[in-house]
């Protein structure tokens, strides 16, 4: 976005708001691409426009002309002429005063690092969080597989209760998994009064041992024996194609399949088997507060 924005600034004054739609049109973005959002809620295109304008400002290629309004500088005009096709962040780094422009801390305080590698700070943070979560999921799966089958059956009921099924753990779920229970590992209330129940099957399998159609058929048979039409099958492994296809064709029963990856995601989302190690609050300028628009 750097050169297109600077080229637009060479023709008129610019603001973050009007540039968002102009740049989206320039790159011929689809409706879905225009509406795609970063975790903080802003659209990707608006976020990238904002950071591109920040980079151009730090490089002295554009400067504020009025509140929320920016204008190309003489340096910007020369730089644009020197780069008729394209330029990137690495080119901005060659500009005099680039590093100094990012140094805003007082003496004795740690200076903020300038963006690097083409990623904005928020994107770098998102990447770091994704890396941390991927490592956590690997360690969490290893820990789950080390537990007993009975512990795993209790764990999946805890996850379902944490998701909001039936209220408290004591009132909402019953751990079965005993003789005479037709292979069902648990039963959970879909509502707090227990008017509608869901049976649960939990399989603590190695990741490379996929659940097949025969196993799902047996589970549906157990549902019939329990007199229910809804079931959840949770495993630490995965489901093969035939198993998924069989569930999709079911007309009298409703079965939800949760594989190992989705189970780990639910455990992280609802804090089951994990604890908060550190919380970080990310702040941003509230443009609505500073807007003078009626």
- How far is Cα 264 from Cα 92, in angstroms, rounded to an integer? 42
User: Which two three-digit tokens encode residue 242?
Assistant: 């035939």
pLDDT of residue 182: 46
Please name the fold of domain 2-104.
Arc Repressor Mutant, subunit A (1.10.10)
CA-CA distance, 67 to 217, in Å (whole number)? 66
Domain ranges of the chain: 2-104, 138-269
* Mean pLDDT within 12-32: 93
C-alpha to C-alpha distance for 233 and 5, rounded to whole angstroms: 52
Q: Looking up tokens 């959840």, which residue turns up?
A: 232
Is the model more confident about 252 or about 260?
A: 260
Interval 160-208: pLDDT, tens: 888 887 666 665 556 555 544 445 677 787 766 666 788 899 999 999 8
Q: Report yes or no: 175 and 203 within 8 Å, Cβ to Cβ.
A: no
For position 113, what pLDDT does the model report?
Answer: 53
Strands 69-72 and 173-175 come out as: unpaired
Q: Which CATH architecture has domain 138-269?
A: 3-Layer(aba) Sandwich (3.40)
Between residues 2 and 288, the one the model is more confident about:
2
- What average pLDDT does range 43-61 have in this prediction? 91
Q: Which of helix, strand or coil describes residue 246?
A: helix
């Amino acid at each position: 976005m750097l050169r297109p924005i600077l080229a637009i600034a060479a023709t008129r004054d610019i603001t973050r708001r009007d540039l968002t739609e102009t740049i989206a049109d320039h790159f011929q973005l689809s409706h879905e691409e225009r509406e795609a959002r970063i975790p903080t809620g802003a659209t990707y295109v608006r976020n990238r426009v904002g950071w591109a304008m920040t980079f151009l400002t730090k490089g002295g290629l554009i400067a504020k002309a009025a509140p929320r309004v920016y204008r190309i500088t003489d340096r910007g005009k020369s730089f644009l002429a020197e780069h008729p096709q394209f330029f990137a962040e690495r080119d901005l780094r060659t500009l005099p005063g680039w590093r100094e422009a990012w140094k805003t801390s007082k003496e004795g305080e740690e200076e903020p690092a300038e963006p690097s590698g083409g990623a904005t700070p928020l994107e770098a943070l998102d990447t770091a969080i994704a890396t941390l979560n991927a490592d956590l999921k690997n360690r969490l799966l290893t820990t789950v597989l080390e537990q007993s089958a009975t512990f795993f059956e209790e764990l999946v009921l805890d996850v379902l209760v944490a998701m909001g099924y039936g209220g408290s753990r004591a009132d909402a779920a019953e751990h079965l998994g005993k003789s005479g229970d037709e292979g069902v590992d648990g039963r959970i209330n879909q509502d707090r009064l227990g008017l509608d129940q869901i049976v649960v099957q939990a399989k603590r399998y190695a990741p490379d041992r996929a659940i097949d159609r025969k196993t799902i058929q047996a589970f549906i048979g157990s549902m019939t024996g329990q007199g229910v039409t809804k079931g959840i099958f949770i495993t630490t492994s995965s489901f093969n194609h035939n198993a998924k296809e069989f569930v999709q064709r079911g007309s009298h029963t409703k079965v939800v399949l949760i594989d190992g990856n989705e189970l780990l995601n639910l455990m992280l989302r609802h804090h089951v088997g994990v604890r908060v190690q550190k919380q970080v609050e990310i702040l941003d300028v509230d443009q609505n507060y500073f807007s003078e628009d009626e």
